[in-house]
Amino acid sequence: GAALGGFVGQVASNLFPGSTASPAAYALVGMAAVVSATTHAPLSALIILFEMTRNYKIILPLMFAVALATTISRLLYRESIYTMKLARRGVRIRGGREENILRSIKVSEVMRREYTTIQNSNRLGDVIEMVRGSEESVFPVLDREGEIVGIIDAHSLNEYVLEEAMYDIVVAEEVARRRFPLLNVDDNLLTALDRFQITGYEAIPVVDNGKVVGLLHRRDLFNRYQMEILLGVDEE
């Protein structure tokens, strides 16, 4: 898959120099397409490639290639490389396993209950110091009543780091993002995965009755998913 993708990318580069992606990007997409087609596990292919590249720009072509490869593969042969031997022995495996795993796990089981919040009245200088001293990347911003009014993304603060004149003038609420994703404690991981894919955040606040009770990290979701897959393989 990587070899074929890289070859197609090199041909495209020669035919349309400067107007197409690098051959390496084509190689990655080709690799993901083959993994998805042979395993019938499109989500796994997406997760693996995202973990390898951390590049959001490749997600759309990756999703298209993975979806197309999986669809064609399932039309040609209903079994994956994992279920082929079992099928030959007469063991039937249910479809949609990946989605069933994600649907069966609630956000509350995976979220982190220890997290850092920022008061909306905190000065920008204090906020920057707090973010610098934390390993978190997303910080819920709360008002006096404890209601979430926004979030601060560590990366979005970079534009203010050198603006020291603003440190004592601007407050957290002014630099917080007012449009942000939320998850409920009763949501499942499939819903959470959709939110992560749409928003691109590394962590999403989790609320219960309007109050923040935790943070769900993209990495924790992927780790739990992979653990469930491995446990399922061991049981089989």
Please write the tens of the pLDDT for every residue from 68-106. 888 888 788 766 766 665 456 554 444 456 677 888 899
187-195 mean pLDDT: 91
Residue 205 has pLDDT above 90, yes or no: yes
Domains within the chain, CATH numbers bracketed: 2-93 (no CATH), 107-223 (3.10.580.10)
Position 228, amino acid: E
Residue 232 has pLDDT above 70, yes or no: no
Euclidean distance between CA atoms 229 and 232, whole angstroms: 5
CA distances in angstroms from 207 to 22, 97, 108, 138, 161, listed in the order given: 42, 28, 10, 15, 30
The per-residue pLDDT for 37 is 82
Which of the pair, 115 or 222, is modelled with greater confidence? 115
Residue 119 has pLDDT above 90, yes or no: yes
Euclidean distance between CA atoms 221 and 156, whole angstroms: 23
CA distances in angstroms from 68 to 29, 57, 61, 72, 195, listed in the order given: 12, 19, 11, 6, 22
Three-state DSSP at 215 gives strand
The per-residue pLDDT for 29 is 81
Tokens of 53: 């590249």
Percent of the chain with pLDDT over 90: 24
Axis crossing angle, helix 189-199 with helix 97-104, rounded to the nearest 10: 100
Helix (H) or strand (E) holding 207: strand 203-208
Q: What is the mean pLDDT of the chain?
A: 80
187-209 mean pLDDT: 89
Which of the pair, 198 or 183, is modelled with greater confidence? 183
Task: Please state which of the ranges 137-141, 209-213, 224-228 shows the lowest mean pLDDT.
Answer: 224-228
The per-residue pLDDT for 84 is 65
Please say whether the beta carbons of 186 and 140 come within 8 A.
no
The per-residue pLDDT for 115 is 92
Euclidean distance between CA atoms 214 and 205, whole angstroms: 6
